[in-house]
Structure 1
Amino acid sequence: MSADCAYTNTGEGLHRFVDLVDGQAYLYTQFEVPDARRVFASFEQPDLKATFRFTVKAPEGWTVVSNSPTPEPKDNVWEFEPTPRISTYITALIVGPYHSVHSVYEKDGQSVPLGIYCRPSLAEYLDADAIFEVTRQGFDWFQEKFDYAYLFAKYDQLFVPEFNAGAMENAGAVTIRDQYVFRSKVTDAAYEVRASTILHELAHMWFGDLVTMEWWNDLWLNESFATYAEAACQADAPGSKWPHSWTTFANQMKTWAYRQDQLPSTHPIMADIRDLDDVLVNFDGITYAKGASVLKQLVAYVGEDAFFRGVQAYFKRHAYGNTRLSDLLGALEETSGRDLRSWSKQWLETAGINVLRPEIETDANGVISSFAVRQEAPRSRPARRVSRRCVRTASRSACTTSTRRPASWCAATGSSWTSTAS
């Protein structure tokens, strides 16, 4: 098949940008969700994985980056080695006279070439050492927790212009908006956000690229996990500059989830996706923030050790393949011994929030005589959920936790759960 395809200036397909500083053109692809077809003929289903071999003809002196390591050109033609089995939406080409900085991640005999790219007009602002530092911390932490070595031949991070999203997890060739190459002094919070983005995309090399959802209704298997993993890595990785990342997560991600979950447009984390157009509206606070919040709860419920042992089994069992919800839950049930079907129905497959209200009674001396927690849900989404509550009293140094089903259903507001403390 032979075809002529147009460049775009909308950030989809093969995007072309001309830098007014040097007058040079810079190109990059963005294929998620349905835009690989703008460059090559394909059936854009995540479960139709294949190996891809790209051949690119470009002007002399340009840089050409793809999923496989960049070969030496012959007569301005770059012939890349085949990729591992991947989905169409994570294939990539980045072409132009980019500036680059290179290093290597090395540990226990493993050696992964690292590259960072940007336009030459931004080179003076590129703090490559700081970016490499976060990247190496991510490699250390993810490979230990996932017990699965990084699978691609190299890892490039390319800061590109006019990028619509924050970043994109192209296999071995991550594209990131070049606003993260800071041109002036910024706050520590801005550096934390950039580090989160770097770790989010690196986590996708396992959650999304190695193991991919079968269909887009399980998008949360990609995005919720990557969002959880970025915060967990920042909190736990040795040498991390942001060990308080769970506080940031609570202030930013959870509040985003609460807002989104009260809108008419809310949906279950595991959404009903009928076609590719449905997918686009689900890159939202439910899939990212609520999904990651619920995963954090799941880790606490099954235990961190059992959770990561389940994740390790999941990667080994489904490497280079596709999965659905039942595959992950099955692995976690095996390692934790818990039945997660009811949990999934309540938290992954049901939309909306619940409100917990304390009801306190005191005696004539002002001493608390009873304490109850009431769970409420809106009439439009009357979900009854089981969750763990922590009750601490002055006479106890540690909290007492209780996990019970709501005892009754209130017609006015929802369900109620009561625990009495004296």
Structure 2
Amino acid sequence: MCKMHGTREAEGGGVDITNGREILPGNVIPRHYDLTLEPDFEKLTYDGTVVIDLDVVENTKSITLNTLEIDVHSTKVLSGSQTISSSPELSHNEDKQTTTVAFGTEIPKGNKAQLEMKFTGQLNDKMAGFYRSTYKNSDGSQGILATTQMEPTDARRAFPCFDEPALKAEFTITLIADKKHTCLSNMDVASETEISATKKAVKFNKSPNMSTYLVAFIVGELNYIETDKFRLPIRVYAPPNQDIEHGRFSLELAARTLEFYEKTFDSKFPLPKMDMVAIPDFSAGAMENWGLITYRVVDLLFDPATSGASTKERVAEVVQHELAHQWFGNLVTMDFWDGLWLNEGFATWMSWYSCNKFYPEWKVWESYVTDTLQGALSLDSLRSSHPIEVPVKRADEVNQIFDAISYSKGSCVIRMISKYLGEDVFMEGIRQYLKKHAYGNTQTGDLWNALSKASGKDVAKIMDIWTKYVGYPVVTVTENESDKTIHVKQNRLLRTADVKPEEDTTLYPVFLGLRTKDGIDENLVLSKREDVFKVQDFDFFKLNADHTSIYRTSYTPARLEKLGRAAKDGLLSVEDRAGMIADAGALAASGYQKTSGVLNLLKGFDSESEFVVWNEILTRLSAIQGAWIFEDQSVRDGLEAFQRDLASEKAHKYGWEFKDSDDHIQQQFKAMLFGSAGLPGDKKVIAAAQDMFAKFAAGDKTAIHPNIRGSVFSIVVKYGGKKEYDIILETYRNSKNSDERNTALRVLGRARDPELIKKTLSLPFSGEVKEQDIYMPISGLRSHPEGIEALFNWMTENWDELTRRLPPGLGMLGTVVSICTSSFSSLEGLERVQKFFAEKSTKGFDQTLAQSCDAIRAKAAWLDRDRQDVKDWVQSYSVKTIKSEL
């Protein structure tokens, strides 16, 4: 911790610039915080006192720490038993989010000091710092919960602190609250004392050394359930408006997972308890605060009677992700935010790894290829992507890197190295890493060193390129059958299909993973621009077996055809088939292949039987439909008809009745086929959806199975009108089930009637929709041209209100900007977006906006190349379909 700070200039009365970063001066180091907070639910404020014990490491006459939107009333500086200053001079720098305390007497290096501050803060409604979350009680009254979200840089909103990951300290927290309220923090309760007839002070035991972004405290009315199936108490808490029994699945899973992680990491969970809390207003999915994990309600509470298989999987992954962070992130923490991937990439990989151990029948490594890997490859194919290790200079840049690169690509790199080293060796390296750096901070090199030591291989040499550079390669394969060789060449892939020579200088170590009938050769690595490799059997081979590596493969049309046959012959794994379709779709979008070739490839998979592969087939078709959304109606209708033809036969065959004997994957498969056939117009499915919906509207709440709730709602909105829309809106307003409410909110945007579009766009600011959910009603509007147009106009007309409700530095605004802009597919649309933002400050979401613009540019280029190609294909397909029907 001192190492990074030791290189800084002392004093300066503000922020120091080290490695281009704006960080606090290194003249003092915090060791312990004694923090007392008293929230007032009437005034929506809180009073606080913080006493920070400091080591003085350079002679100093000032102390600079982080504050944001905090009103400091009094400040004292002590050294030893001596008061240095009882009213030092304070100066605030709003832009840098700091307060500097200046005093006349110099404190010499090597001494101890104490900084005491009394302050007031707002229990804000921005889901950041110490904030208020509200919920509706059964009697219609409003309940309030005071809770926290500190990551990445909002501990400074809650209390004055040294708000950087490397400045770890111990925390002793006291909460003063009404006697009826539950008080929680990272640690267990040390004492509870009565202050008055109505108030109590709850003091918590001192925490281990930890970063400020992991500090958490909650005050409010909460119910809980507890399990004794782990050596320490584990509880799930929820506000009184939730059925606490719905936390049972997460509670039991947490007990199993903590035990599994202790064994896997050979490291005891070091805190005395684990609490997991459902928070009604929450900007992320969940937050790994040490010993006190907070969640969105839908990501912690699960009711098998009202939620489907995909929701159960999501809850399991989120719980296991946050628990992995208790070691990777909390016990060992990145030293600054450019190492965020160390936290998020590993926790993402670990959630899949543990999910696979606990629920092998879910086959999560198969869906990993269509989910995590494709998410990473999609974002990283844009010029405006960023390296996994991204330089972060300022606090307001940090939120933008919580994206598919840090999480998904980060986890793909972890998966790649675990496969390369072997899982046992990899885990041994992880155990050594955790032991060596417990309670400390690390950089990426520390992880590579631990893995190198465990494996005897130079891991940094192989992996540094993957984390320090943006993008990934496309590997082009040409064949020479006469001498049984393949020529492979790597180039940077950009979705916009306009790679400049200077952007194509990085050469990646590409693990080729050659699959033949003899098995997989994991030893082939392409580490230069191009190379030639022997292939014994030209009848069948495929690169990137199981798609464990980060690249796309471009084959000749003839080879693609052979691979299509190999898929039918059972020579390819599920991951191979799904990944091959994903590559073909992405390469058509990037100009490497014709879109008609992809459509033919999809058509050839009609005998496919696996859910994950079908999911990717329909995803790639959806991407084509998304790019062609403003094109001729006849072409769009033809693509819809093709989707209907692909999905209908299977949908009818599998049906939409769900039985207890259906396994986890079957349930999701049936649900996907039902929606994929019904939305493009399958009459039988539409009739079934309308029938279920009529029963539901008449009061039979079990008429629609949770697995197909979203599809039924979507279908009746698309093919119905105001009546169906209003029933779904009332479902959102009155349902007690968070999952059902979210589904209702998400589908409203599918209505195309101008009045209903207007109604949908009135919801975000109506007071009915929580700010955490503003993106939900508007996201459905992207499914039709009228909605895309209306969305952009709504954003431009309401920009001031949007930025007021969603401050740019907090992340949610970037999500809304992306939803409102990225569905355009022409250069005219791009121009409109750029023109609107030309005069606006884009600080806090500039990267998201750039990615949105790149996505539009890519679609416009794709259309220019393949507009006629797709039109011709659709006409030919339609003629053949008509003939076959005759």
Instruction: State the TM-score, normalizing by the size of structure 2.
Output: 0.44
Q: Structure 2 matches for 1:172-191, cutoff 5 A?
A: 172-180=291-299, 181-182=301-302, 185-191=306-312
Matched residue, 2:133: 17
RMSD: 1.9
In 2, distance between residues paired with 1:78 and 1:26? 16
For 1:390, which of 513, 521, 533 is the aligned residue? Answer: 513
Q: CA deviation at 1:360?
A: 3.0
1:294 aligns with 2:410: no
Q: C-alpha displacement at 1:179, in angstroms?
A: 2.1
Distance in 2 separating the partners of 1:99 and 1:92: 18
| Among 525, 528, 533, the residue aligned to 1:404 | 525
- Structure number with greater Rg is 2
Any residues of structure 2 matched to 1:21-420 within 5 Å, and which?
Answer: 21=137, 22-71=141-190, 73-75=192-194, 76-106=200-230, 111-123=231-243, 126-180=245-299, 181-182=301-302, 185-237=306-358, 240=359, 243-362=362-481, 369-377=484-492, 378-379=499-500, 380-393=503-516, 396-407=517-528, 415-420=529-534
**Structure 1 residues 381 and 134, CA, compared in 2 at 3 Å: closer, same or farther?**
farther
Gaps of 5+ in 1: 408-414
- Residues 120/375 of structure 1: CA separation in 2 closer, same or farther (3 Å cut): same
Distance 2:308 2:481 in 1: 47
2:17 — aligned with what? none
1:46 Cα deviation after fit:
0.7
Amino acid at match of 1:114: I
1:252/1:112 CA distance change after superposition, 3 Å: same
Question: Quick one: distance in 1 between partners of 2:332 and 2:265?
Answer: 12
1:91–1:405 distance in 2 versus 1, CA, 3 Å:
same
Counterpart amino acid of residue 340 in structure 1: V
| 2-structure distance, mates of 1:172, 1:141 | 17
Q: Tell me the amino acid that sits aligned with residue 132 of structure 2.
A: R
Secondary structure at the aligned position of 2:382 is classed as coil
Q: Pick closer, same or farther for the CA change 1:401–1:25 going to 2, 3 Å.
A: closer
TM-superposed deviation, 1:41:
0.8
Match of 1:410 in 2: none
Measured after TM superposition, the shift of residue 406 of structure 1 is: 4.4
SS in 1 for 2:172: coil
Q: 1:417 to 1:402 in 2, by over 3 A?
A: farther
1:3 aligns with 119
Summarize the Cα distance change of 1:402–1:301 in structure 2 as closer, same or farther, 3 Å threshold.
closer
For 1:38 and 1:279, the matched residues in 2 are separated by: 15
Aligned-pair CA distance for 1:243: 4.6
Using the TM superposition, give the Cα deviation of residue 280 of structure 1 relative to its aligned residue in structure 2, in angstroms: 1.2
Aligned amino acid, residue 513 of structure 2:
C
What letter matches 1:139 in structure 2? L
d(CA) in 2 for partners of 1:226, 1:381: 31
2: distance between equivalents of 1:13 and 1:404? 47
Aligned match of 2:562: none
1:26 and 1:381, CA in 2 relative to 1: closer, same or farther beyond 3 A?
Answer: farther
Q: Please give the secondary structure, in 2, of the residue aligned with 1:151.
A: coil
Query: Residue 302 of structure 2 contacts residue 312 of structure 2 at CA under 8 Å; is this kept in 1?
Result: no
Per-residue deviation at 1:23?
2.4
CA contact (8 A) 1:256 1:285 kept: yes
SS in 2 for 1:217: helix
Deviations 1:199-223 (A, max 9, x none): 0000000001101111111111111
Q: Secondary structure at the match of 2:432?
A: helix
Question: What letter corresponds to residue 487 of structure 2 in structure 1?
Answer: A
User: Kindly, what percent of the aligned residue pairs are identical?
Assistant: 30
Change (3 A) 1:355 1:147: same
Tell me the distance in 2 between the aligned counterparts of 1:401 and 1:300: 9
Deviation at 1:227, TM superposition (A): 0.6
Quick check: 300-309 or 43-52, which moved more? 300-309
Which shows bigger deviation, 269-278 or 43-52?
Answer: 269-278
Moved more, 369-378 or 54-63: 369-378
Q: Distance in 1 between matches of 2:179 and 2:288?
A: 28
Higher relative contact order (Cα pairs below 8 Å, separated by 6+ residues) = 1
Distance 1:390 1:77 in 2: 60
The CA distance in 2 between the partners of 1:105 and 1:42, in whole Å, is 37
The amino acid across from 1:78 in the alignment is: V
- Distance in 2 of aligned mates of 1:89 and 1:153: 20
Q: CA deviation at 1:355?
A: 0.8
- Cα-to-partner distance string for 1:304-336 (whole Å, 9 max, x where unaligned): 222111111111111111111221111111110
Higher alpha-carbon deviation: 306-315 or 85-94: 306-315
Q: Secondary structure at the match of 2:130?
A: strand
Conserved? CA contact 2:153–2:213, under 8 Å: yes
Amino acid corresponding to residue 192 of structure 2 in structure 1: P
Moved more, 371-380 or 332-341: 371-380
Kept after mapping to 2: 8 A contact 1:376/1:416: no
1:36 to partner: Cα distance: 1.0
Give me the whole-angstrom Cα distance separating, in 1, the residues matched to 2:475 and 2:248: 46
Distance 1:392 1:101, change over 3 A: closer
Paired letter, 2:122? A
- Taking the aligned partners of 1:80 and 1:421, their CA distance within structure 2 comes to 65
Q: Which amino acid aligns with 1:3?
A: F
In structure 1, give the amino acid aligned to 2:506.
A
Distance in 2, Cα, partners of 1:357 & 1:105: 53
C-alpha contact 2:226 2:251 (8 A) present in aligned 1 = no
Cα distance in 2, alignment partners of residues 154 and 167 from structure 1: 18
Identify which range, 182-191 or 143-152, moves more after superposition: 182-191
The CA deviation string for residues 34-81 of structure 1, in whole angstroms up to 9 with x for no partner, is 111122110111111111111111112110010111355321111111
1:132, 1:241 → 2: CA distance? 20
